[in-house]
Amino acid sequence: MSPERTESPLGRSGWAGDLPPPGSPRPWPRAFPPPKAAVAGQRSPSPRSLWPVPSGTRCSPRTSCRHPVRAYAEEVTLTLESDRLLIRDWEEADAEAAVEIYGSADVAQWLSPAIERIDEVATMKRVLAAWVEAQPNFVLPAGRWAVLRKDTNELVGGLLIRLLPPYEEDLEIGWQLKPSAWGYGYATEASRTLMRWAFTEGGIDELFAVARPHNERALATAGRLGMEWVGETDKYYGLNLQVYRIRAGDFKAEDAKEHPPAPGDD
């Protein structure tokens, strides 16, 4: 296994570097098949300009959900709700609360790729600014989102869907919670809500999750989500990681079951 790499908070593989700079070319990943051209012989436009606006998506006042081309070309803000939680785009104003997540040693020690803790609000604000700027450039369902309690509006965690290195063929779902929010089932509830949207509206067939071998909470959460262990690898991020996967059909069967929050859930 290659030595563990630690990225700076604003490094290429870390907090702000999950996609190339705006305007730079990137190949079509397998997870996102390019759309067919409207007319034979014409170049296919961006997938965001063709895909319908997902149900449950709230557009900002500057965009119109009635016109998918305009909505995806400019800005779409995703808002999802579960029984207890709200999932929305990150905002720079979340910086102080986000430090409780990404500034915690108990959270940072399990992150992949290995990344420095962000324990200063000013640094966290710069990271969030980069996330906010990058969000419209992701090909849905990829992105990063904040997780809040609906009853108190308290920020409790973060979610992401991103392409796994080195070939950017598979999509990873990831979750992070601040330690004071552990044990209430929030990670499972939020992740299941995002997975439901990704499979229903994102046009994907499968999702992966990766976790370090001794990260018992993450491994247990993957199991509660109905994900299947498929092996161990060191090809992602230069770390030895356990790999879990769930396919769309299996998720639908799992999602049809009742899932009451259980004590001890992450």
Cα–Cα distances (Å) from 143 to 1, 17, 108, 127, 232, in that order, read: 29, 12, 20, 14, 25
β-partners of residue 32 are none
- Alpha carbon distance 11, 212 (integer Å): 21
* Residue 232 · residue 240 · CB < 8 Å: yes
Tokens representing 218 are: 């993450």
**Residue 168 burial (CB count, 10 A):** 17
Question: Which tens digit of pLDDT belongs to each residue from 30-63?
Answer: 444 443 333 333 333 333 333 333 444 443 333 3
Between 39 and 262, name the one with better pLDDT. Answer: 262
Whether 182 shows a pLDDT value over 70: the answer reads: yes
Domains and CATH numbers, the chain: 46-75 (no CATH), 81-255 (3.40.630.30)
In the prediction, which pLDDT does 62 show? 31
* Residue 254 · residue 225 · CB < 8 Å: yes
* Residue 53 · residue 65 · CB < 8 Å: yes
Give me the amino acid identity at 120: E
Q: Detail the DSSP E strand segments found in the chain.
A: 57-58, 77-81, 85-89, 143-149, 155-163, 171-177, 206-211, 228-233, 241-247
Between 31 and 247, name the one with better pLDDT. Answer: 247
* Residue 98 · residue 124 · CB < 8 Å: yes
Verify cis geometry, omega within 30 degrees of 0, for the bond prior to 113. yes
In the prediction, which pLDDT does 29 show? 45
* Residue 146 · residue 127 · CB < 8 Å: no
Question: Which tens digit of pLDDT belongs to each residue from 117-169?
Answer: 999 999 999 999 999 999 999 988 999 999 999 999 999 999 999 999 988 88
Q: What is the pTM of this model?
A: 0.73
